[in-house]
Amino acid sequence: MRLRLRYEKLGKVRFLSHRDVARVLERAVRRAGLPVAYSEGFSPHARLHFGLALSVGHESLAEYLDVDLVPSAPRPAVHEIPDLLSGCLPEGLTATAAVDLVPGTASLQESVTSSTWEFRVAGVPLAPLAAAADELLAADELPVDLTRKGKQVREDLRPLLLDLSTEATSDGVLLLVELGTKPRSVRPAEFLAVLGARCPSPGPEAAACAAARVLRTHQWITHDGVRREPIELAAPSPHAVERAS
């Protein structure tokens, strides 16, 4: 019996690490009275399955968590769970949706293929960033040098840059970016560094990019050319419509 939850992480709690959020959620699930299942063995732990990590300092409208429940135990109705859980969470962490998963549903780690991000870059004009963005989209490859297990490796970020647009805001620039997660997640900071490097130098843009306010708005599962969210609320499945009618 697996439950999937969506939650937001906004405001001061954006400074919590992924590990911190995991611990907060584990306590909240217990306090909310969900009959969470425990692993067997010498040191049993609650069976919570987290999705993609969100770096310290970033906000999100779309974080996900799967929770295994004891199959036979009494439990609240699924539509009651978001409010129940939010009542046990600190300000800024809010559960916004819950669904029961069909047995055999792939895990979040396996199935999520991309995220959409809002990057708010303050105090800079649109033009240089828009030009840099065009340059990124026009490039055949975007090599980045990384140190992995002590070795220098070169990777191409271009296949993971799925979409990118820019618009001016009252105090800077808003970037809307979709970044892939397979074979690995591109961290927003990595992308912003690549973007900053294409901006005029010297200039305020690179530093402003590094200090951008980051918000994840969506996670996506793209499968056989169809893109959907890990919890779909807007379009209920035909199955559910059938039953409701």
92 or 229: CB nearest another protein: 92
Strands 59-68 and 213-223: parallel
Give 50's strand partners: 65
Phi-psi region of 244 (alpha: psi -120 to 50; beta: other; left: phi over 0): alpha
How far out from the chain centre does Cα 214 lie? 11
Nearer Cβ to another protein, position 56 or 241?
A: 56
CB of 25: closest distance to another protein in angstroms? 10
Nearer Cβ to another protein, position 19 or 223?
A: 19
Binding site for another protein (CB under 8 A): 12-13, 15-17, 19-20, 23-24, 26-35, 38, 42-44, 46, 56-57, 88, 90-92, 211
Closest CB 27 distance from another protein, rounded Å: 3
167 DSSP β-pair partners: 174
The CB-of-28 to another protein minimum distance in angstroms stands at: 6
How far is CA 22 from each of CA 34, 45, 149, 150, 184, rounded to the nearest angstrom?
16, 12, 26, 29, 21
DSSP line for 75-133: ---GGGHHHHHHTTS-TTEEEEEEEEPPTTPPPHHHH--EEEEEEEEET--HHHHHHHH
Cα gap 245→233, rounded to integer Å:
17
CA distance linking residue 56 with residue 114, whole number of Å:
19
Please report how close the Cβ of residue 21 comes to another protein at its closest, in angstroms. Answer: 8
Cα–Cα distance, 240 to 245 (Å, whole number) = 9
Least Å distance between CB 120 and another protein? 13
Q: Which is nearer to another protein, 55 or 111 (CB)?
A: 55
Closer to another protein by Cβ: residue 44 or 236 = 44
**Residue 13 beta carbon to another protein: minimum distance, rounded to whole angstroms:** 6
Residue 16 or 199 having the CB closest to another protein: 16
Q: What angle do CA 89, 90, 96 make, to 5 degrees?
A: 50
